[in-house]
Amino acid sequence: MELVHSGKVRDVYEDGGDLILVASDRVSVYDVILPTPIPDKGKVLTRLSLWWFERLADIVPNHVISATDVPHEFAGRAVRVRKLRMVQVECIARGYLAGLGLREYRAGGAVSGVALPPGLTEGSQLPAPVFTPTSKAAVGEHDEFITYDDVVAQEGAEIAERLRETTLAVYRRGAELARERGVIIADTKLEFGWDADGGLVLGDEVLTPDSSRFWPLDEWEPGRPQRSFDKQYVRDWAAGTGWDKTYPAPEIPADVVAATRARYIEAYERITGESW
Ligand code: ATP
Ligand code: MG
């Protein structure tokens, strides 16, 4: 197998005509990989993605070929997938205001060119989920918000519309399912690609704590930062150290590693209803 890409979290190998996506235990914040791994994180991301892919398959086909036909040293954290030509847009859906969306809203009352009503605050639920795409950043650069019109200009009106509708449909299904289990999916990022037959396929990972903001429903309270099951915890710890968000990042202390691992596992257990 040939290593064709080493991302912030995953290593991608080519095997025959397929790809093997291997999720590591690496954690990145502000696009910087931290030096300390989070045990089991790669397995959580892999198992949760597979769980979701199955439950979204009637909305959009996915890239999964097999979760077992992978080299044994990667067992549990690797998936054999169809190689896609990736759409050069990160398809984000937001149902609540947080992170970059909140910052944009505060600056101009809109997110990705979508005007929002006044009076919203940190953690507010939006009147309806919105599609807030970003460009796919080159290595070392941050993704940037683009408007729906930018996606139309880049991909054409018909594809832009499909990306938006499919992204929102996946978000709505995911958010509804998670809510029944006491988890708010505040926002999520999807990646689509084209298969050999020209079909639109959901790739990458889906509705994981790395690609989404997960909040416990019973603690949700707009007007403040929300407790989260995702890597926000590591982000907050990292920001609190005074680190300047460039390489090298500080080592994560053992208690923060343990608390982060527990959050990933709690997200998995709550959403799937299975115990880790
Ligand atoms: P970067 O590549 O900029 O470092 P990243 O850190 O998000 O981004 P990872 O998520 O670690 O990268 O690696 C996964 C890579 O594989 C991404 O570039 C993603 O777009 C790509 N990818 C996911 N699924 C497929 C697929 N089925 N076919 C081709 N590429 C895919
Ligand atoms: Mg990625």
User: Any idea which ligand is nearest the CA of 26?
Assistant: 1
The mean predicted confidence, pLDDT, of the chain is: 95
Average pLDDT over residues 143-165: 95
Q: What ipTM was assigned to the predicted interfaces of this complex? A: 0.94
Report the pLDDT value the prediction gives residue 144, as an integer from 0 to 100: 78
Torsion sign (Cα): 198, 204, 207, 211: negative
pLDDT tens-digit readout, 187-242: 999 999 999 999 999 999 999 999 999 999 999 999 999 999 888 889 999 999 99
Q: Determine the residue of 12, 15, 41 to mutate for testing ligand 1's pocket, defined as the one with the most ligand atoms within 8 A of the Cβ atom.
A: 12
Average pLDDT over residues 39-64: 98
Fill in the DSSP letter of residue 253.
Answer: P
Looking at the CA of residue 201, tell me the nearest atom of ligand 1: 27
Q: Per-domain residue ranges for the chain? A: 2-81, 85-235
**Residue ranges lining ligand 1, Cβ < 6 Å:** 5, 7-10, 12, 19, 21, 63, 81-84, 86, 139, 191, 193, 203-204
Fill in the DSSP letter of residue 145.
Answer: B
Query: How far apart, in whole angstroms, are the C-alpha atoms of residue 274 and residue 272?
Result: 5
| CA 220-224-228 angle, 5° bins | 50
Average pLDDT over residues 50-71: 98
CATH topology of domain 2-81: Phosphorylase Kinase; domain 1 (3.30.200)
pLDDT tens-digit readout, 76-93: 999 999 999 999 999 999
Look up the pTM and report it.
0.94
**Matching CATH topology for 2-81 and 85-235?**
no
Report the pLDDT value the prediction gives residue 140, as an integer from 0 to 100: 59
Please state, for a pLDDT cut of 90, what percent of the chain lies above it.
Answer: 93
Looking at the CA of residue 81, tell me the nearest atom of ligand 1: 27
Q: Which CATH class is domain 85-235?
A: alpha beta
Residue type, 44: V
Report the pLDDT value the prediction gives residue 231, as an integer from 0 to 100: 82
| CA 34-39-40 angle, 5° bins | 120
Looking at the CA of residue 63, tell me the nearest atom of ligand 1: 27
- What's the token pair of residue 3? 């290593």
CA of 168 relative to ligand 1 center, distance in Å: 21
Torsion-angle region of 204 (φ positive above 0: left; ψ -120 to 50: alpha; else: beta): left
Q: How far is CA 64 from CA 107, 199, 210, 249, in A?
A: 40, 14, 19, 33
Q: How far is CA 118 from CA 108, 109, 110, 127, in A?
A: 10, 7, 10, 11
